[in-house]
């Protein structure tokens, strides 16, 4: 996954960092968080904007964010019309980020804003994506085990290699943010999409802090749904299981057939009706599983087609004049991003 960058980014003045912060009922921590993030940006010596996405909060977070924005023009707030969920909020934030880099983080103090400086160092070395590898999770043992297994199972069956223990927290270059925002997947798993787009990626170990109030806003059911999105949008393994089931049942049918016919024809030990019953049911059991497997092949292809992810993304062109560049990037400069997102 980690590739050596081929170049170092030239030092630039007035670099803009957009920090994307989805918020769902976090009023108690917003002031502290704003201060911490502003301070972290100041330490990098860059300009910054905090993009808060108020995802239908009902605890006064919205009003508080308006007040914070009034006091500091760096703070920008996007109020969604209702609660659309964490992944949708991140997508909305990415689509509105205009910085040279975008940092995605939780608004619950679990992601340490001071890591922004370390991410930026890697970006300056030439990496386009710097993700946090989470260490020292503070959740209970069951949740920790589930997270641990999820990342490993997903990586084993996904067609896109994904770094384990890396969630949303991290920095992406502006063009990566734009590419991710343009992906039309409705069932979104941000960390997977970030791996999917490619470019130069690397991880930085970051300690995951405790949640300030110990009450996660994404429920276990929400996490389960996210795990399903991750698995079904990046792997067709669950469907291919039916091939295995179909082939195994076919083999069972043949062996059983031989056994049953032998007794029917030679030993006479077969009870009347048994041979035909056993053979018919095992044959149709196998046909069912194979049928599902074949249907699955079509469904997977239809799913790929409707999701409409581009077939490739171009990192850069060498010696290709502008009008000969064919690829996702060409469209980036003509307002297509907004058009796609609005549709």
User: Treating both helix axes as pointing N-terminal to C-terminal, what angle do 220-234 and 237-262 enclose, rounded to 10 degrees?
Assistant: 80
* Smallest separation, CB 73 to ligand UDP (Å): 22
Positions touching ligand UDP (CB under 6 A) are: 22-24, 26, 55, 83, 85-86, 89, 106-108, 110, 216-218
Q: Which listed residue (26, 49, 106, 128) binds Mg ion by CB under 5 A?
A: 106
Tokens of 48: 């910054």
Q: Which is nearer to ligand UDP, 41 or 80 (CB)?
A: 80
* Smallest separation, CB 338 to ligand UDP (Å): 22
Beta-strand runs (E) in 88-215: 101-104, 129-135, 166-173, 201-207
Residue 200: name its binding partner from ligand UDP, Mg ion, none (Cβ under 5 to 8 Å by kind): none
Q: Which listed residue (110, 115, 202, 282) binds Mg ion by CB under 5 A?
A: 110
* Smallest separation, CB 108 to Mg ion (Å): 4
Residue 23: name its binding partner from ligand UDP, Mg ion, none (Cβ under 5 to 8 Å by kind): ligand UDP
- Answer whether 17's CB lies under 8 Å from 173's CB: no
> Is position 111 an interface residue for Mg ion (rule: CB under 5 A)?
no
Identify the CA nearest to 105 among candidates 78, 70, 131, 137. 131
* Cα 190 to Cα 229: distance, rounded to the nearest angstrom: 10
* Smallest separation, CB 238 to ligand UDP (Å): 23
Which helix or strand (DSSP H or E) is residue 248 part of? helix 237-262
* Smallest separation, CB 230 to ligand UDP (Å): 13
> Where does this chain touch Mg ion (CB under 5 A) — which range of 44-52, 98-106, 297-305, 313-321?
98-106
> Is position 108 an interface residue for Mg ion (rule: CB under 5 A)?
yes
Q: Which is nearer to Mg ion, 49 or 106 (CB)?
A: 106
Cα 232-234-236 angle, rounded to 5 deg? 60
Exposure on the CB side of residue 98, measured as CA atoms within 13 A? 5
Beta-strand runs (E) in the chain: 16-23, 47-54, 75-79, 101-104, 129-135, 166-173, 201-207
Contacting positions for Mg ion (CB under 5 A): 106, 108, 110
């Amino acid at each position: 996954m980690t590739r050596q960058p081929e170049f170092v980014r030239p030092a630039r003045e007035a670099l803009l960092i957009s920090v994307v912060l989805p918020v769902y009922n976090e009023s108690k921590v917003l002031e502290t968080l704003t201060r911490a993030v502003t301070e972290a940006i100041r330490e990098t010596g860059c300009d910054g904007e905090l993009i808060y996405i108020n995802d239908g909060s009902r605890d006064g977070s919205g009003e508080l964010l308006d007040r914070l924005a009034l006091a500091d023009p760096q703070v920008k707030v996007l109020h969604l019309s209702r609660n659309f969920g964490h992944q949708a909020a991140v997508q909305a934030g990415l689509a509105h980020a205009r910085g040279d880099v975008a940092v995605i983080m939780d608004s619950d103090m679990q992601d340490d804003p001071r890591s922004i400086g370390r991410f930026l160092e890697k970006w300056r070395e030439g990496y386009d994506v710097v993700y946090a590898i989470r260490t020292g999770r503070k959740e209970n043992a069951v949740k920790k085990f589930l997270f641990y297994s999820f990342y490993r199972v997903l990586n084993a069956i996904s067609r896109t290699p994904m770094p384990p223990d890396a969630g949303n927290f991290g920095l992406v270059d502006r063009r990566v943010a734009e590419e991710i925002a343009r992906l039309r997947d409705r069932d979104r798993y941000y960390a997977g999409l970030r791996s999917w787009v490619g470019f130069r990626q690397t991880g930085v170990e970051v300690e995951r802090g405790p949640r300030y109030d110990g009450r996660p806003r994404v429920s276990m059911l929400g996490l389960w749904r996210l795990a399903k999105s991750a698995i079904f949008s990046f792997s067709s393994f669950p469907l291919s299981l039916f091939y295995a089931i179909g082939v195994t049942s076919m083999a069972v049918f043949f062996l059983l057939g031989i056994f049953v016919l032998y007794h029917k024809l030679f030993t006479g030990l077969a009870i009347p009706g048994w041979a035909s019953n056993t053979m018919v049911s095992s044959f149709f059991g196998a046909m069912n599983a194979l049928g599902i497997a074949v249907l699955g092949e079509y469904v997977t292809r239809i799913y790929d087609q409707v999701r409409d992810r581009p077939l490739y993304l171009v990192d850069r062109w060498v010696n290709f004049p502008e009008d000969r560049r064919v690829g996702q990037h060409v469209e980036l400069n003509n307002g297509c991003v907004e058009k796609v997102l609005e549709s």
